[in-house]
Amino acid sequence: MDERLNRAPVGILSTTETGAIVAANDCARELLSLDTDCVSAGKVLTDLFPASVEDTVPRLFETESIDSQEFEEYYPELDKWLSVTVLPTDDGVTLYVQDCSERYHDRRTIGELRGEVDRLTNINALISDVLGELVAVSTREEIAETICERLGGTELYAFALMAERELGGERLSVRAAAGSTGRTLDAIERTLEGKAVGPEQQAIETAEPQLVQPLGEEVAVPEAVRRAAFADGIQSLLAVPLTYGSSVYGVVSIYATDQNAFSERERANFETVGEMAGFAINAARHRSLLLSDTVVELTLAIRDNQDPFVDATATHDGTLTIDGMILQHDEPLLCYLTVRDGCVDEYANSLRAHEHIKSCRVLSTHDESGSLEVSVDSATAVARLAERGATIQSGSFSDGVGELVVELSPAEDVRRVAEHVTTEFESSVRAKREKERVSQSPDEFREELGEALTDRQENALRTAFFADYFESPRGSSAEEVADALGITGPTLLYHLRAGQKKLLAQYFEIPDHPR
């Protein structure tokens, strides 16, 4: 073969009409993995050319005449796509061979990426629907059914289940499930009834999602579940805890037939579902407490010197009283406190130095009393109780001991809440009782508020309200309202603030305190 053809970047093979190899350049030998002596040994191309699905090259030499043609085929032995051009010559046949695998790889990659984008689009739409429906539901049962029906009812996954701890126990119980559950769900429920620990329990205990793929090879999954999943064609699962703050209310598990069903993006999206479901469950718990005719009242004694309020009163004179708290999702708990018979600045400095206090601000000081705004992290007794659905009715700390009175819905696992606090903190339950909720009619509320307001405060509030002083933009200025009442602007503002404070204190059921 001519030296220029031998060094060509394209594979070139020359054969007789019967397929005997006459010449082969270096590129052809490398592409087709041919021996160096294939020409001198007089070997036939049909015996050496790698096999493909169509076997086009060998078939060519079975015909009476070979026509010019070009084709591309995949050759498994070489793991390559080859472009082959066949040209008949006066004394035989010449084949030009090129590796076109990269082009097919690019096409496959683009196809896979498009498929992944389409899948993520469908998943995002699905999760958006789930989140939208969670906003409208009001009970834990509806939350469980909504999540399972939406996730288990899609072709993307085989089935979904939601499990929670049994009331007063440690075992998990499936609350809802939807989809093609097959034998796998039965095996899961039997496992949850026993002592075996699977992904669902791990998700709740660690408050972290648990990904298992492939399911059949994961020894952490109970054997009975693995066998049932194999029979049902289930190959992967994702167990997502339902969290709100530091509380874990349950777990949602999604089972899929695809071995690699959950990409990193999908897992992040499902973590959002877990957080939103936890938020919805927390809201349902508070709603249950508000609508319940009876409540369970717990009185807890806190003696743990790691608690910032206990620690502060152990080293300073006076009493700390909780006036109100604001629970914010993923934010520190805001506490508003009153200091009595003690130095407010000393208390503030002591609290600022505590590891569980995020911030502390002095709101007011009056001789040996005053008020503070304090934000605490979740590693405090008040935060733990608030996150678990308890409403703190009152809290008082003095001489290194605190007393918290909290209310819980009868539907809550009161024993678990109490055990959680007494196990984590040096504390004890002083009293527990069930009592009827005292409701107040609007007329009673107005009558009681009317008795608390002075005539001037009521007139100032009423005039400002009807004069659209509280609208935005205001229909009347403070000066115009003051002129209507025949008083000065500062006097009007004084009466408005005093009246608004009494109204809000009555609404939030806050007793009088020095501010």
Q: Is the pLDDT of residue 96 over 60?
A: yes
- What is the pLDDT, as a whole number, of residue 85? 92
The answer to whether residues 189 and 315 belong to one domain is: no
Give, as one character, the DSSP assignment of residue 277: H
- What is the pLDDT, as a whole number, of residue 515? 44
Q: Give the pLDDT band of residue 278 (cuts 50, 70, 90).
A: confident
Q: Is the pLDDT of residue 513 over 80?
A: no
Which of the residue ranges 81-85, 275-279, 415-419, 437-441 would you say has the lowest mean pLDDT? Answer: 437-441
CATH number of the domain bearing residue 48: 3.30.450.20
Which of the residue ranges 8-22, 41-55, 89-103, 438-452 would you say has the lowest mean pLDDT? Answer: 438-452
CA 225, 252, 115 angle in degrees (round to 5)? 90
The answer to whether residues 336 and 390 belong to one domain is: yes
The answer to whether residues 447 and 425 belong to one domain is: no
Q: Would you say 399 and 346 are in contact if contact means Cβ atoms under 8 Å apart?
A: no
The answer to whether residues 165 and 142 belong to one domain is: yes
Q: Is 56 exposed, middle or buried (0-12, 13-18, 19+ CB in 10 A)?
A: middle
Domain termination site, one of 412, 436, 460: 436
Give tens-digit pLDDT for 208-237: 899 888 887 788 888 888 889 888 888 889
Helices (H) and strands (E) in the chain, counts: 18, 18
Q: Is the pLDDT of residue 392 over 70?
A: yes
Domain termination site, one of 267, 289, 311: 289
Q: Would you say 96 and 11 are in contact if contact means Cβ atoms under 8 Å apart?
A: yes
Q: Give the pLDDT band of residue 443 (cuts 50, 70, 90).
A: low
Rounded CA separation 371/395 (Å)? 14
Q: Give the pLDDT band of residue 353 (cuts 50, 70, 90).
A: very high
Give, as one character, the DSSP assignment of residue 371: E
- Of the candidates 185, 123, 159, the one whose C-alpha atom is nearest the C-alpha of residue 257 is 159
Position 512 in a domain: no
CATH number of the domain bearing residue 464: 1.10.10
Q: Report the predicted TM-score, pTM, of the whole model to 2 decimal places.
A: 0.51
Between 197 and 27, name the one with better pLDDT: 27
The answer to whether residues 489 and 382 belong to one domain is: no
Position 514 in a domain: no
The answer to whether residues 500 and 406 belong to one domain is: no
The answer to whether residues 491 and 417 belong to one domain is: no
3-state secondary structure (DSSP) of residue 445: helix
- What is the pLDDT, as a whole number, of residue 433? 85
The answer to whether residues 432 and 462 belong to one domain is: no
Position 237 in a domain: yes
Within its chain, how far is the Cα of 49 from the centroid?
A: 56
Domain that holds residue 323: 294-436
The answer to whether residues 185 and 224 belong to one domain is: yes
Neighbours of 143 (CB within 10 A): 27
CA 422, 292, 377 angle in degrees (round to 5)? 40
Position 385 in a domain: yes
Domain termination site, one of 52, 73, 99: 99
Q: Is the pLDDT of residue 41 over 80?
A: no
Bridge partner list, 241: 251
Position 77 in a domain: yes
Within its chain, how far is the Cα of 347 from the centroid?
A: 38
- Of the candidates 81, 70, 86, the one whose C-alpha atom is nearest the C-alpha of residue 13 is 86
Q: Is the pLDDT of residue 344 over 60?
A: yes
Retrieve residue 212's tokens.
């298992």
Q: Is the pLDDT of residue 514 over 70?
A: no
The answer to whether residues 42 and 114 belong to one domain is: no
Q: What is the mean pLDDT of residues 176-191?
A: 87
- What is the pLDDT, as a whole number, of residue 340? 92
H or E element that contains 497 = helix 489-507
CATH number of the domain bearing residue 154: 3.30.450.40
Q: What percent of the chain has pLDDT over 70?
A: 86
Q: Would you say 484 and 469 are in contact if contact means Cβ atoms under 8 Å apart?
A: no
Give tens-digit pLDDT for 127-176: 777 777 776 666 778 888 888 888 887 878 889 888 887 654 567 788 88
Phi, psi of 513 (to 5 degrees): -150, 155
Rounded CA separation 393/397 (Å)? 14
- Residue 372 identity (one-letter amino acid): L
Q: Is the pLDDT of residue 465 over 70?
A: yes
- Of the candidates 422, 420, 442, 438, the one whose C-alpha atom is nearest the C-alpha of residue 430 is 422
Position 515 in a domain: no
- Helix, strand, coil percentages in the chain from 3-state DSSP, rounded to 5: 40, 30, 30
Q: Would you say 395 and 405 are in contact if contact means Cβ atoms under 8 Å apart?
A: yes
The answer to whether residues 90 and 46 belong to one domain is: yes
Query: Based on C-alpha coordinates, what's the Rg of the chain?
Result: 38
- What is the pLDDT, as a whole number, of residue 232? 87
Position 315 in a domain: yes
| Total tally of structural domains belonging to the chain | 4
Q: What is the mean pLDDT of residues 383-402?
A: 86
Looking at every residue in the chain, the average pLDDT score rounds to 82
The answer to whether residues 51 and 92 belong to one domain is: yes
Q: Would you say 461 and 500 are in contact if contact means Cβ atoms under 8 Å apart?
A: yes
- What is the pLDDT, as a whole number, of residue 505? 79
Sheet holding 357-366, edge to edge: 357-366, 369-376, 333-340, 319-326, 391-398, 401-408, 294-302, 427-436
Position 513 in a domain: no
Q: Is 29 exposed, middle or buried (0-12, 13-18, 19+ CB in 10 A)?
A: middle
Q: Is the pLDDT of residue 258 over 50?
A: yes
Rounded CA separation 442/437 (Å)? 16
3-state secondary structure (DSSP) of residue 352: helix
Q: Is the pLDDT of residue 115 over 70?
A: no
